[in-house]
Chain A
Amino acid sequence: MTTTATTRSNFMQVLAGIKNWQSLGLLTVLILFYIVLTISSPIFFTVSNQLAILQSAAFFGIVAFAMTLVIVSGEIDISVGSVAALSSSLLGVFVVKQGLPFPLAVILVIVAALAIGAFTGFLRAYYGVPTFISTLAMYLALRGLAQLLTNNFPLPIPSSDFFYWGSGKVFGIIPVAAIYFVIAAVIIGVIAQKTVFGRSVYAVGGNAKASRLSGIPVSRIKIVVMMSSALSAAIAGLLYSAQLSSGNSTIAVGLEFDAIAASIIGGTVLSGGKGTIVGTAIGVVFIAALLNGMVLLGVNPYLQQVIRGAVVLIAVLVNVWRTRRSPIS
Chain B
Amino acid sequence: MSETVLSCSALGKRFGMVTALTGVDFELHRGEVRALLGKNGAGKSTLVNLISGSLRPDAGTIKLDGEIVEWSGPHAAQAGGIAVVHQEFSLVLGLSVAENITLGSWPQKRGFVDKGALKARAQRALNRLGVAIPLWITVGSLPLAEQQMVEIAKALVDEPKVLVLDEPTSALNSHEVDALISLVRRLADTGISVIYVSHRMKEIPLVADTLTVLRDGKEIGTHAVTSLSSDEVAELISGEVKVDTVHQKHDRTSAPVVLEVRNLTIPHRLDGISFSLHEGEVLGIAGLLGSGRTELLESIYGLRNDAEGEILVNGTLQSHRYPRKMLDLGIAFTSEDRKGSGIVPLLGVDENLVLSARGRVLPKMWVHVKQEARIVSEVMASMSISASSARQEIGTLSGGNQQKGVIGRALAAKLGILLLDEPTRGVDLQAKAQIYGLIRDLADTGVSSIFVSSELEEIAEVCDRVLVLRDGQIHEELVGSEGTADRILALAMRQENDS
**Which residues from chain A sit less than 8 Å from chain B, CB to CB?**
6, 9-10, 13, 16, 193-200, 202-203, 206-207, 209-217, 269, 273-274, 326-329
| Beyond known contacts A207-B344, A210-B355, A328-B45: 13 more, CB 8 A cutoff | A9-B373, A196-B365, A199-B358, A202-B346, A203-B347, A206-B345, A207-B341, A213-B341, A215-B359, A216-B355, A217-B324, A273-B347, A329-B54
> Which chain B residues numbered 308 to 337 have a C-beta less than 8 Å away from chain A?
323-324, 327-328, 333-335
Given A6-B370, A217-B324, A328-B49: A196 in contact with B359 (beta carbons within 8 A): yes
The residue in chain B whose Cβ has the minimal distance to the Cβ of A271 is B346
B229 to chain A, nearest CB (A): 34
In the bound complex, residues from chain A placing their C-beta under 8 Å from that of B346 are 202, 206, 269, 273-274
Interface residues of B in 428-447 (CB under 8 A from A): none
Min CB distance A129 to B, Å, is 20
> In the complex, which residue of chain A has the Cβ closest to the Cβ of B354?
A199
* Choice from B365, B370, B391 contacting A195 with Cβ under 8 Å: B365
Neighbouring B residues of A328 by C-beta, 8 Å = 45, 49, 54-55
Determine the main DSSP class of A at the interface with B. helix
Would you give 10 A-B contacts (Cβ < 8 Å), ordered by A?
A6-B370, A194-B366, A200-B358, A209-B335, A209-B341, A210-B341, A213-B301, A213-B323, A214-B355, A215-B360
Complex: how many Å from CA A327 to CA B351?
25
Which 7 pairs show the lowest CB-CB distances between chains A and B? A215-B327, A206-B344, A214-B355, A209-B341, A273-B346, A207-B344, A215-B324
Interfacial chain A residues near B341, Cβ < 8 Å: 207, 209-210, 213
Given contacts A196-B365, A327-B15, A328-B54, contact A215 B343 (CB under 8 A): no
Q: Which residues of B contact A212 (CB under 8 A)?
A: 323
Q: Report B-chain residues with C-beta under 8 Å of the C-beta of A6.
A: 370
Instruction: Give the docked Cα–Cα distance between A211 and B344 (Å).
Output: 8
Give the shortest distance, in Å, between B77 (CB) and chain A (any CB): 14
The chain A residue sitting closest to B73, CB to CB, is A329
B303 contact set on A, CB distance < 8 A: 213
Give the chain A neighbours of B360 by CB distance below 8 A.
215
Which residues of B are in contact with A by a Cβ distance under 8 Å?
15, 45, 49, 54-55, 301, 303, 323-324, 327-328, 333-335, 340-347, 351, 355-356, 358-360, 362-367, 369-370, 373, 391, 396, 409, 413
**Chain B residues in 8 Å Cβ range of A210:** 335, 340-344, 355
Pick the contact of B366: A10, A195, A274 (CB < 8 A): A195
Give the distance in Å from the alpha carbon of A207 to the alpha carbon of B409 in the complex: 15
Q: Is the CB of B347 within 8 A of A206?
A: yes
Does A273 contact B344, Cβ atoms closer than 8 Å? yes
* Distance (whole angstroms) from the CB of B167 to the closest CB of chain A: 15
Chain B residues contacting A195 (CB-CB under 8 Å) are 365-367
Q: How far is the CA of A16 from the CA of B301 in the complex (A)?
A: 37
Q: Is the Cβ of B323 less than 8 Å from the Cβ of A215?
A: yes
The smallest beta-carbon distance between A271 and chain B, in angstroms, is 9
B326 CB to closest chain A CB (Å) equals 8
Q: Are A196 and B364 in contact (CB under 8 A)?
A: yes
B356 touches A214 (CB 8 A): yes
Hey, which chain B residues are within 8 Å of A209, CB to CB?
A: 335, 340-341
Q: How far is the CB of A201 from chain B (nearest CB, A)?
A: 11
| Minimum CB distance partner of A204 in chain B | B344
A193–B367 Cα gap in the complex (Å)? 8
| A190, closest chain B residue (CB) | B366
Taken together as a complex, chains A and B put the C-alpha atoms of A256 and B193 apart, in Å, by 56
Known A10-B369, A210-B343, A215-B356; judge A203-B351 contact (CB<8 A). yes
Given contacts A212-B323, A213-B335, A215-B324, contact A196 B344 (CB under 8 A): no
Most chain B CB within a 10 A radius of its CB, from A195, A206, A213, A216: A213
Q: What is the bound-complex CA distance between A13 and B372, given in angstroms? A: 13
Residues of B within 8 A of A196 (CB): 358-359, 362-367
CB-nearest residue of chain A to B15: A327
A contact residues around B327 at 8 Å (CB): 214-215
Name A197's closest neighbour in chain B (CB-CB).
B365
Contacts of A194 in B (CB 8 A): 366-367
Nearest CB on B from A125, distance (A): 14
Nearest B-chain residue to A198, judged by Cβ? B367
Give complex CA distance A213, B347 in Å. Answer: 16
Determine whether the beta carbon of A16 is less than 8 Å from that of B391: yes
Question: Which residue of chain A is the closest to B359 with respect to CB atoms?
Answer: A196
Nearest Cβ distance between residue B333 and chain A, in whole angstroms?
6
